[in-house]
Structure 1
C-alpha cells in the first residue's frame, strides 16, 4: 500500500518539550520506549509568577511546564491547546456541587473551562496571541495537528501546539475506552517539508498525542492517525 497522501499539509518540527511523571527531562524523553507514564508527581513551574501558578491544578501545571520550557521560544505566536478531557478533575466536583446545591463557585468554574490554562499563560506572558482550545475525543491528536498545519498553511510563521491530559477521575473510569496517562507536550511547528499530513492510509486505532510524540522523535516512516478518513503523517526521506 502506498503511503503517499492524496491531499496534504506540510510542516517541520522546530522544537519540542514534554513532561510526565518519571519523564521530566529532555534526555528521559529522548530514550523513551513509548510505555505510558504513570504517577502522581507534578511539576513546579518555577518560571511562572506564583500568584498565577497557584491557580493551576496538576493538568495545568504540566501544560505550563512545557510551554515555559527553555527549548520553546514563545514570542506571541498562535497557541493551540488540545486536550481530550480537559480539567475533568475540576468539573466532577463542580457537577456534584451543582446537583447537590444548585450552584457552583464562579472562581472554581473559571479554571474548569477548556481554555483556562492557555489563558493563564497569555496573561503571565502579557501577550494577545490567538488561542485555540480543542477537544476531539479519540481524534484529539489529529484535530490539534490539523489545526496547527492549517494555520501554517494560512500564513502563520510558527504555531505552538500543546497537548495535555491525565487519567479520568474515578467516577468516569468505567467509561474510559483506552489506557490513559498523565502528560503534557508542546510542539513548535513551522512551515516546511519534513512531515506531510494527509489522507491515504487505513487505520485500525486512533493515534494519541503520546504516540504522535514517539513518532516525531523516532525514525518510523509513517504514523496512521485516525480510523475515520485514513489520516496519517509521513516522514520525508532524508
Structure 2
C-alpha cells in the first residue's frame, strides 16, 4: 500500500537556519546566515504571548505559519498534525522537580504548557482554526508517523493538511535519558493537488542510519533530527529519502520535484 501527497508549502527553522530560504541557500550554496536569531518569534501570537510561549511552541508556530504562507493557504481552514517526540522536556523537568520539592509552587502557566498538545492548542487559538488538530508522538519514528497520519487524512478526503514537526532541548535528569539539543522545526502543507513536489510513501522492513547533509550538521543532536532526510532531499532536489518509521521499519519517500 502506498500513500501520496503534494507539498504546497514548506516551513523550516534550525539553529543558524532561520527559515526555508536559508535552508535552501545552505544546502545548495553553502551560504550561512549572519547573526541568525537564537529563537523564532512567531507572528501568529500577540507580543506578550509570544514572549511567554515556550521554545517548543515558538518554533512550531513559526514553521507552521511559514508553510501556510508559502502555500497561500488560510491557516484557519487546514486540519493539522503536530508531531513531537517529547513535547517540551524542559517544562517536564521543571514540573517533576517542583512536584518533588514544593508541590504547591507549580506555575499555572508552566502547567498549562506541559501537555503534549500545547503547540496544537496555541496554533488553533492563534489561527482561529476550527478544523481537527492531531498530536503525534512515536519516539524516533515520530516524524514518519506524523507524515503517514497527514497523508492518510488526505487519502480519506481532506483537501489539504498541515504537518508540523518540532522538538526543543531537554534539561536536568531527563537530558541524560533523552538527550536533545537546540530547537528544530519543520512544516509541510500537503494536498491532493499537483502544485509542488509530489511524494509517494511506502513502508517496508529495514533500518536507516543517522541523517547526513548540511541540515543535519545544524541540528545533529535534536530529537526531531529524523525529519531531516526529507527536508535535505527537498532542498537538494534529490528523488528519494528514507525515514525511521518504527522498530525494524522504514518509510521510503519517492519525490518528483515540480
Query: Which residue is equivalent to 2:79?
Result: 78
Query: Which residue is equivalent to 1:93?
Result: 94
RMSD between aligned alpha carbons? 2.7
Cα gap change, 1:166/1:203 in structure 2, threshold over 3 Å: closer, same or farther?
A: same
- Of the three residues 168, 187, 199, the one matched with 1:166 is 168
TM-fit CA distance, 1:229: 2.8
The secondary structure found in structure 1 opposite 2:189 is strand
Structure 1 residue 26 corresponds to structure 2 residue 24 = no
Is the Cα–Cα contact under 8 Å of residues 241 and 254 in structure 2 kept in the other structure? yes
Query: Which residue is equivalent to 1:49?
Result: 46
Q: Deviations over 1:200-234 (max 9, x none)?
A: 46323377112221123333232222252332111
The secondary structure found in structure 1 opposite 2:40 is coil
TM-fit CA distance, 1:151: 0.4
Structure 1 residue 216 corresponds to structure 2 residue 216 = no
TM-fit CA distance, 1:140: 0.7
- Of the three residues 60, 63, 68, the one matched with 2:65 is 68
* Structure 2 runs not aligned, ≥5 long: 31-35, 212-225
The secondary structure found in structure 1 opposite 2:42 is coil
Comparing 161-170 and 227-236, the one that deviates more: 227-236
Cα distance in structure 1, aligned partners of 2:120 and 2:252: 27
Query: Which residue is equivalent to 2:103?
Result: 102
- Of the three residues 6, 9, 21, the one matched with 1:12 is 6
TM-fit CA distance, 1:153: 0.4
Is the Cα–Cα contact under 8 Å of residues 44 and 61 in structure 2 kept in the other structure? no
Query: Which residue is equivalent to 2:222?
Result: none
Is the Cα–Cα contact under 8 Å of residues 138 and 206 in structure 1 kept in the other structure? no
Is the Cα–Cα contact under 8 Å of residues 136 and 143 in structure 1 kept in the other structure? yes
Query: Which residue is equivalent to 1:141?
Result: 143
Cα distance in structure 2, aligned partners of 1:120 and 1:230: 31
Comparing 48-57 and 109-118, the one that deviates more: 48-57
Scaled by the length of structure 2, the TM-score of the pair is 0.78
Q: Deviations over 1:130-187 (max 9, x none)?
A: 110111101011111010011000110000000111232142232247x754111110
Is the Cα–Cα contact under 8 Å of residues 12 and 192 in structure 1 kept in the other structure? yes
Is the Cα–Cα contact under 8 Å of residues 203 and 249 in structure 2 kept in the other structure? yes
The secondary structure found in structure 2 opposite 1:118 is helix
Query: Which residue is equivalent to 1:156?
Result: 158
Query: Which residue is equivalent to 2:189?
Result: 188
- Report how many residues are paired: 229
Is the Cα–Cα contact under 8 Å of residues 204 and 251 in structure 2 kept in the other structure? yes
Cα gap change, 1:110/1:198 in structure 2, threshold over 3 Å: closer, same or farther?
A: same
Query: Which residue is equivalent to 1:235?
Result: 255
* Structure 1 runs not aligned, ≥5 long: 1-6
Comparing 71-80 and 86-95, the one that deviates more: 71-80
The secondary structure found in structure 1 opposite 2:52 is coil
Q: Deviations over 1:34-74 (max 9, x none)?
A: 99xxx981122234222432331122111111122232532
The secondary structure found in structure 1 opposite 2:26 is coil
Query: Which residue is equivalent to 1:3?
Result: none
